[in-house]
Chains A and B, each alone.
Chain A
Amino acid sequence: MIAAVEVTPAYYLVLGSALFAIGAGGLLVRRNPLVMFMCVELMLNAVTLTFVTFSRMLDDVGGQAVVVFVLVVAAAEVVVGLAIIVALLRKRPGATADTAALLEG
């Protein structure tokens, strides 16, 4: 029966890796700066999931403390990042990540 299958921390770890991979792939593929940012948030979340999992595995609440800090920093980062995006796109509406391509060899 399915009930016999126990959810070990392994599951969470693999899920975290998967989320991280999806976020990384998305970051490389998308051009819209906002969507790219969202992919970064995705990666951060994967990391927090992994931290919490390890915190539980090791019986150490320090992992959760790290998650708190990650959350705070992510918030600050989003604020500043979006401010920059707003400033940029105000100057050049429609700019994407590919717009800045003059420095080529």
Chain B
Amino acid sequence: MLELVWLVPALPLAGFVLLIVAGRRLGEPLAGWVATLTCGGSFLATVVVFAGLLGEHGEERSFTQTLFTWLPAGGLQVDLGFLVDPLSITMALFVTGVGTLIHLYAIGYMHGDADFSKFFVYMNLFVFSMLMLVLGENLLVTFLGWEGVGACSYFLISFWFTSEANAAAGKKAFITNRIGDWGFMVAMFLAFATVGTLSYTELMANADQLAAVTATGLGLLLFVGAVGKSAQLPLYIWLPDAMAGPTPVSALIHAATMVTAGVFLMTRVSPILAAGYDWAPSLIAWVGAITALFAATIAVAQNDIKKVLAYSTVSQLGYMFLAVGSGAYVAAIFHMVTHAFFKALLFLGAGSVIHGVHEEQDMRRMGGLRKYMPVTAATFIVGWLAIAGVPPFAGFWSKDEVLLFAWAKSPVLWAIGLVTAVLTAFYMGRQVFMVFFGGERWRDDHATDEAQAAHVVADPVGDGTTDDAGEAVAAADPSTAAATYAHDHPEPHESPWLMTLPLVVLAVLSLVGGGLNLPFSGDTKVLENWLEPVIGEAEVHLDVATGTKVGLAAVAVVAALAGIVMAGAVYLQRRLRPVEPEVLAHGWYYDEAVSAFVDGPGRESFEAVAAFDRTIIDGGVTGVGGAVAWFGRGLRHIQTGFVRSYALGVAAGAVVVLGYFLTRLNF
């Protein structure tokens, strides 16, 4: 059964090919169903392989399938193969599972779109790439998937590319990813140069023999790639802008799967990180923690329903890297899985809301929607409680694990994590209260509507700027938000079953997902036992008293509840005034700083490099040609055409030869 692993990426690939060829003819909704079914088939295949893996025992749970030799180049031998082990199967399970649900949702969400089939072409290609990434047997296959998901991210973010801002957002995502990819590539070169192989099995087997410098270099270079892909500081800037894409895209790519690729990669190479210097994982942990806090502060002041979730994703990814840096790889994976459930749920719910209020995305224009969209509201609330870390929802268990290991690493890190947890509960509560509770602000009278419509047209996101990708989301959608809104605002409606069914499924998963790794005893730690063959040695094993653990958990719960209460006080009961400083709404002006740098010193350095390339490198090459031509032109003059010149040449040559022989005489 394990040999069927090739089916897992093959089915979405087949779907991709089929839809490219015949997608337009299949049309809506058949194209969407084809894509969903291939994804579902892939999920089934993954389950079969999972079952096969279960049949093996502990250490034996590693199966490699090589399809063919991809790069036989001298000392480098790279195969196109799959590595089936607990880690990759876990990833594959939730990628295909959540992916199928989102495909199903998208059939409903993309209803009426002119490029319906094209959407599913890209979606299937994405799933294929992601599966290659997680199932890859060596760094190069993973990189293939890595680049593939980057490309699909670009395609899908700028899906409604007729708007300049959407296209710009897509480009921004791709380019920022590319900076991270540089790190990945250099890591591959380094791996080949030092160890001589790119294959995971060989790398991990030799990991403890690596020099500390090499191991640290490899680990940190791959971390650079992860920073780009998983949107950590300083390369997170693309993720908020990526909300320009359709909501299923945000859910699948920018919440559940692609952005987790970085965490997966770090976990995959955990033995290498363990063999490096101690400050490397600390660096990772700090980057994660600071990113988490940073993003959480920004989320507090966002008014676009998707932007809040985007910054939330950045923040939660920070948690995952905090876990990785603290040696808590299991916790990182655990949080990744639960995050996939509830974040996808939240995004899909947001999409449902947007759909329901006719493409409005500004939360200030929403309110009291729970009456009109009960299923969406209920599932959204489940997701909210999960992300806030309220027991018994999944998020509590995973976040608690992360915080526990952070405490063991450094109390400061734990404190940062705790503050972030408070903020998370707060801003998510803010979102829920603004959207589903309170007054029905979408009903407000026309007079202010007109003025506000103009305002909304200029600045739909409502964060004071008029030129970020969020504008595009509202502006690009065919039914221009403001116009529709200003003239007729029928009541919001619940979404069709195609969209609500995935919401319900994900809500259930968010509720029971915690069961994957309950910390009560060795038996309940299912995920930890499952992942032990892969991560076991690199995982930090804690020696913390149970009392401390309970205490920390209690503090976390209190923090979550405190956040919720504060949010309620501000946004539900209106007892306190909202505090949403401009600097937070603008993301600490980080984006502006980056733009200023790239436009200023950045541009100069780019141009200097380009000039160098033009004059020295190109100049060198053309210069060689020019030198040859110049030399030829000069040499030409020997051909005078006159016989006497040639006679002179002959005579001169004879003189030279004679002279040479003279030098050999003895006088």
Distance (Å) between the CB of A18 and the closest chain B CB?
A: 16
Report the Cα distance A103→B644, complex, angstroms: 13
CB of B57 within 8 A of chain A?
no
CA distance A102 to B648 in the complex (A): 18
A101 at the interface (CB under 8 A from B): yes
Residues of the B chain whose Cβ atoms lie less than 8 Å from the Cβ of A103 = 639, 641
From A27, A100, A101, give the contact of B647 (CB < 8 A).
A27
A100 to B641, CA, bound (A): 7
Q: Is A2 an interface residue, CB under 8 A from the partner? A: no
The verdict on B651 contacting chain A, using a C-beta distance below 8 Å, is yes
Please name all residues of chain A whose beta carbon is closer than 8 Å to the beta carbon of B651 when the two chains form the complex: 24, 28
Contact pattern, A 16-31, Cβ under 8 Å of B = 1, otherwise 0: 0000000010011001
List the A residue with the shortest CB-CB distance to B637. A105
Interface size (A, Cβ < 8 Å)?
12
Name the residue of chain A whose CB is nearest to the CB of B636: A105
**Closest partner residue, chain A, to B639 (CB atom):** A105
Residue pairs across A and B with CB atoms within 8 Å: the count is 31
Closest residue of chain B to A98 (Cβ to Cβ) is B642
Give how many B residues have a beta carbon under 8 Å from the other chain's beta carbons: 12
| CB 8 Å contact bits of A78-105 with B (1 = contact, 0 = none) | 0000000000000000000110111111
Q: Residue of B at shortest CB range from A25? A: B651
Which single residue of chain B is at the shortest CB-CB distance from A101?
Answer: B641
B555 contact set on A, CB distance < 8 A = none
Q: What's the dominant secondary structure at chain A's contact region?
A: loop
Taking CB atoms, residues of chain B closer than 8 Å to A105 are 636-639, 641
B640 at interface (Cβ–Cβ under 8 A)?
yes
A100 to B647, CA, bound (A): 14
CA distance A98 to B637 in the complex (A): 16
Q: How does the 8 Å CB contact mask read for B632-664 relative to A, with 1 for contact and 0 for none?
A: 000011111111100110010000000000000
Chain A residue nearest in CB terms to B635:
A105
Shortest Cβ distance from residue A89 to the other chain B in the assembled complex, whole angstroms: 15
Q: Which of A32-62 contact B (CB under 8 A)?
A: none
A105's nearest neighbour on chain B, judged by CB, is: B639
Question: What's the minimum C-beta distance from B522 to chain A, rounded to whole angstroms?
Answer: 91
Q: How far is the CB of A96 from the nearest CB of chain B, in Å?
A: 10
- A105 and B642 alpha carbons, distance in the complex (Å): 11
Give CA–CA (A28, B649) in the complex, Å. 10
A104–B644 touching, CB < 8 Å: no
B655 to nearest A CB, angstroms? 10
- Could you tell me the distance between the alpha carbons of A104 and B637 in the complex, rounded to whole angstroms? 8
Q: Determine whether the beta carbon of A102 is less than 8 Å from that of B644.
A: no
* Extra 4 A-B pairs, beta carbons < 8 Å, given A27-B647, A28-B647: A97-B642, A98-B644, A104-B641, A105-B636
